[in-house]
Structure 1
Amino acid sequence: MRILSVLAASLFSVSSFASTVPDDPHLYVQGQAKIQVQPDRATIRVAIVEKSKQLPEAKQKVDDIMAKAIKLAKRFDIEKDDIHAEQLNVYRQTRYNRNTNEEEFEGFRVTRSLTLTLKKIESYPELLQALVDTGITEFNNTEFSVSNREELTDKLKLKAIKDAKLAVKELAGAFDVEVDKLYSASFAPINAPTVPYLRQAPAMKMMDSESGSYKEAYNTGAITIEAQVYAIYLIK
């Protein structure tokens, strides 16, 4: 957002030409804004594991399942750049025989990992079942996210700045002092010996994604996105 970029530049330019904390009387405040949203994409990490004393046999089976999984991902409209198939890993497994005091060969453990980014979140339950059907043997973890997180964060930063302005008015009014001007501001905590004044956080609003039946099948909970701004105001 152009307005936010210009505003952020002006805030940091004020900070760069001022010491961290002024010697003059001042008020140190924190503005914040946050929101809860439903995820609209899922990054799924799975793996194929096969064990056999015949390495070619294990490798072939892993490769076949991987090919099916990639073909399946395309059927779910997952783009090529969102399909990441890792290289083959081979481990030679042995077991210690207490009777003979020797290591005995048990076989080879062959693995390949696959990461998929699903942008049609409503298809998540169906995709999981389809992956199981293809022969995927391990589901490592799924990370849910929001595609427009950067855009939401930019908007929250603007709201955090407004909240900081309200905070300094509230604090100045409580102490019956008059605000002079902004001394410094930053989206990161200012190196100050005191804790900034923080207004009571406003109630978070829930934003629904277009996830449809996905919510009914898998309730992952909302993702909280937040932004803070820290400001020092001189007082008269």
Structure 2
Amino acid sequence: MKNAALALGLFTASCGLSSLAWAETTPTAPHLSTSGQGKVQAQPDMATLVIDVSTTQAQASQAKKQTDARVARYFDFLHQQGIVDKDINAANVTTQAQYDYSVQGKPKLIGYQASRTVTVTVHQLTKLNPLLDGALAAGLNEIRSVSMAVEHPEQYQQQARQAAVNDAISKAKSLAAGFNATLGPVWSINYQTQSHEAMPMVRMMSAKAAVADTSADQTYQQQKLDFSDNVDVVFTLNTHSLGAEPGDHTPPKNP
């Protein structure tokens, strides 16, 4: 009967793991290696707007002054909408000479362009569309991106991690039971910090879906965010049900 236990010691049920990677983390006693995955979806409750503004004038100072004026108008609008200064970032400006290359020969200087980027964190998604409209009304001429997020991502990451742990335990129990064995203590855990998937961009509904009684605010669909995690675990095995003597974990002899 000992031979059966020794033979089982050579068996490793691996889910997505190479034997070489686990060579230094697996016991010589009967054991089982498995991997668990977890995934949790979250409804976005905040967004980040990135909006650009640029103007071109004959002088760089004039271009900057006009660009600053547009940003200042948008700041006033944001404050009226209840957006606080800590959720606004526009501390940047660039100026660049503009040339006309249409005529052969030496490029002709036609002016200077001043550009700024305004980043706004929105904690009330019902304000999303009004803030975008307000940006365009203030003269900010390019909406670069609208990305969704959650206020407290760590709680969803923890849920995904626990789901991965539960998945690993469930797989291990099922595999052990299939060989008339039971799980012993955990031998090792291999874990690397995971992160949720990239923040999705807001997308517009199709013209067909946007019926006449649908408001503009409703046409912005809030995609869900995915949080995933995984964990690799090595369990020792109790193999007395196969006929081995209880506590017999003698490592297999080299041939």
TM-score by length of 2: 0.70
> More deviation in 173-182 or 57-66?
173-182
Q: What percentage of residue pairs aligned between the two structures are identical?
A: 24
Name the structure 1 match of 2:231: 229
Tell which structure's C-alpha radius of gyration is larger. Answer: 2
Matched, 1:187 2:191: yes
Amino acid aligned to 1:174: G
Name the structure 2 match of 1:162: 166
Change in CA separation of 1:91 and 1:68 when aligned onto 2, cut-off 3 Å: same
Aligned pair partner of 1:40 in 39, 45, 48: 45
Contact 1:121 1:214 in 2 (8 A): no
Matched, 1:51 2:53: no
Change in CA separation of 1:156 and 1:215 when aligned onto 2, cut-off 3 Å: farther
Name the structure 1 match of 2:221: 219
1:146-161 matches, cutoff 5 A: 146-161=150-165
Q: Can you list the C-alpha shifts for 1:149-208, whole angstroms capped at 9, x where unaligned?
A: 10121233223222221121011112332322211113329xxxxxxxxxxxxxxxxxxx
Name the structure 1 match of 2:67: 62
Q: Can you list the C-alpha shifts for 1:69-108, whole angstroms capped at 9, x where unaligned?
A: 1222222222221111132200012233654x21211210
1:48-197 matches, cutoff 5 A: 48-96=53-101, 98-99=103-104, 101-188=105-192
Unaligned runs of 5+ in 1: 1-17, 190-212
Distance in 1 (alpha carbons) for counterparts of 2:102 and 2:138: 36
Contact 2:129 2:217 in 1 (8 A): no
Amino acid aligned to 1:64: A
TM-score by length of 1: 0.75
Unaligned runs of 5+ in 2: 1-22, 194-214, 239-255
Contact 1:123 1:214 in 2 (8 A): no
Distance in 2 (alpha carbons) for counterparts of 1:111 and 1:162: 51
Q: Can you list the C-alpha shifts for 1:120-149, whole angstroms capped at 9, x where unaligned?
A: 111111111111111111111121101121
Tell me the matched-pair count: 195
Change in CA separation of 1:64 and 1:33 when aligned onto 2, cut-off 3 Å: same
DSSP-derived class of the 2:101 partner: strand
Compute the displacement of 1:25 (Å): 3.1
Name the structure 1 match of 2:253: none
Distance in 2 (alpha carbons) for counterparts of 1:105 and 1:150: 52
Distance in 1 (alpha carbons) for counterparts of 2:216 and 2:135: 17
**Coordinate RMSD, CA, aligned:** 2.2
Contact 2:100 2:108 in 1 (8 A): yes
Contact 1:188 1:230 in 2 (8 A): no
DSSP-derived class of the 1:31 partner: strand
Amino acid aligned to 1:43: T
